[in-house]
Chains A and B, each alone.
Chain A
């Protein structure tokens, strides 16, 4: 053992503190969603399921969830196509400007969301609106896809780097067409990376608020926007809390799946 016993115990203690720091707020949200009190008060005096019920039937929440799902699906579909194409081009071919463009793909997620948001907002205003395309769900999808591409790209590029090109060459040598090689060799090799990338990009889009607020048209409200708009209204607090608690629970599932699929994918988000 290279570290002294005292050092190991100290690392353990700080690790325990860090984990408590990570989970305590989430647990508080969960517990508070059953808090019987109508205005925020801690600790809860007694518990109820009624806020969860009210959140489930709330019209605003339902519409917002639907909008978020639509936006997430649209953005993920675009990101899957463009991200995989770009990954294949970067991993399989050498071309001028490859390094520079691999940086550009990261920019939408590396630069602050407000920069991407304003940039897209002013571009849509100058280009799309004169063409008759006004701000709405479509512009939200365009915005989300821009930063979802990088997630798909990273997953697929990592997989392609690992699988190499030999299987594709063998398939072509054995007389398969480009389509057959893609369908029976390349696709099975990257399938789980595609699923992981899709899950991550959907999750990213589902949670996004900054770019959304700059690209959404009037009347379009995603779930994060609904939460943010109701966060400061005291009489909505219990329902916001139930929605927040539901999100804490729901998010564990896709993330767990994505983590299993992209082995060593702890850094899958970026």
Chain B
């Protein structure tokens, strides 16, 4: 406990100051807002702005210096060379695949936890079990899937009695590892959506003679759409910007963010990397706008 004297009324000056602050709400607000807004707007949005501007520059191929002359050459290359289109399509495909896999796993899992398990303690324990690995290190999870898929790894070992062997490192491993990484992000909003769904609706549907499939299709799924959309924001956009997992488990597979990364590191062409980085931004923002109409953003 603190000294009791501090709990008495403030000194006259402190009270005058407090009263002044209390009457001048805008002043208090300004004090609270200025530091975080400076950080977010100046540092963060400012940085994004600098990046966008620098995407119009180029690099002198002899000296490696930045040429600060505006041109759309970087974007022209990105749009016209077919390799970039292939990688972009592959990346969007992987992101959609990951989203579908996560949805197929998350729906029954969340239905089981929310509607089948009766005991509250078991339900809570299961929920913790699902969310806990969210916090295990990203790289550790990538490493784990490398051990699983690598030649002579766990999957080969499990399949060998059947005379089969696993797909090895590559596209399949990438999709599985990414689906693994983002699964809890799908389970949580879907579970929260199911918890908000009144049991009486399900009972009414059953009383009216609907089968389980019919209840799921006509009652549960339509009401879950905002939650599913919210989960898909994570599964989709996190996959879209990923380049590390594909390096760990993807073999020679390339995703779009690898193009960005390689142009910063190996090629040292920051303007081109910045232009390439605009692609994930545009897709993610477009996706956000598309799912916003379902009310997904209120369900994050």
Contacts and interface: CB of A to CB of B under 8 A. Distances in A.
Interface of A: 2-4, 6-8, 10-12, 14-15, 17-19, 21-26, 28-29, 32, 40-43, 81-83, 85-86, 88-89, 93, 95, 101, 104-105, 107-108, 110-116, 118-123, 126-127, 142, 145-146, 149, 172, 174-181, 183-184, 203, 207, 209-210, 214, 224, 227-228, 231, 240-241, 244, 247-248, 251-252, 254-256, 259, 266-267, 269-270
A149 B37 CA distance: 11
Nearest to A110: B237
17 contacts: A18-B106, A18-B130, A26-B140, A42-B153, A86-B33, A86-B37, A95-B33, A104-B45, A111-B237, A111-B284, A115-B277, A116-B47, A123-B50, A172-B18, A178-B22, A244-B143, A266-B127
Contacts of B238: 112
A34 B277 CA distance: 41
A146 B260 CA distance: 21
Interface of B: 6-7, 9-11, 14-15, 17-18, 21-22, 25, 28-29, 32-33, 35-37, 39-41, 43-48, 50-51, 54, 105-106, 108-109, 111-113, 115-116, 126-141, 143-148, 150, 152-154, 156-157, 180, 183, 185, 188-189, 191-192, 199, 202-203, 205-206, 211-213, 215, 233-234, 237-238, 240-244, 248, 257, 260-261, 264, 270, 273-274, 277, 280-281, 284, 288, 300
A163 to B, nearest CB: 17
Contacts of A207: 135, 137-139
Contact of B39 (A113, A122, A146): A146
A111 B241 contact: yes
Contacts of B150: 40
Contact of B14 (A88, A110, A177): A177
A40 B145 CA distance: 13
B281 A210 contact: no
A177 B29 contact: no
B250 to A, nearest CB: 13
A22 B141 CA distance: 10
Main secondary structure of the interface of B (DSSP, over half): helix
A40 B191 CA distance: 38
Contacts of A17: 105
A267 B10 contact: no
A267 B244 contact: no
Contacts of B143: 29, 227, 231, 240-241, 244
Given A2-B212, A248-B140, 10 more contacts: A14-B109, A28-B148, A81-B35, A86-B33, A111-B284, A112-B237, A127-B50, A176-B10, A207-B138, A269-B134
Nearest to B53: A122
B9 A175 contact: yes
A255 B153 CA distance: 30
Contacts of B22: 172, 178
Given A25-B148, A110-B284, A118-B260, A14 B244 contact: no
B157 A184 contact: no
B284 to A, nearest CB: 6
A104 B130 CA distance: 29
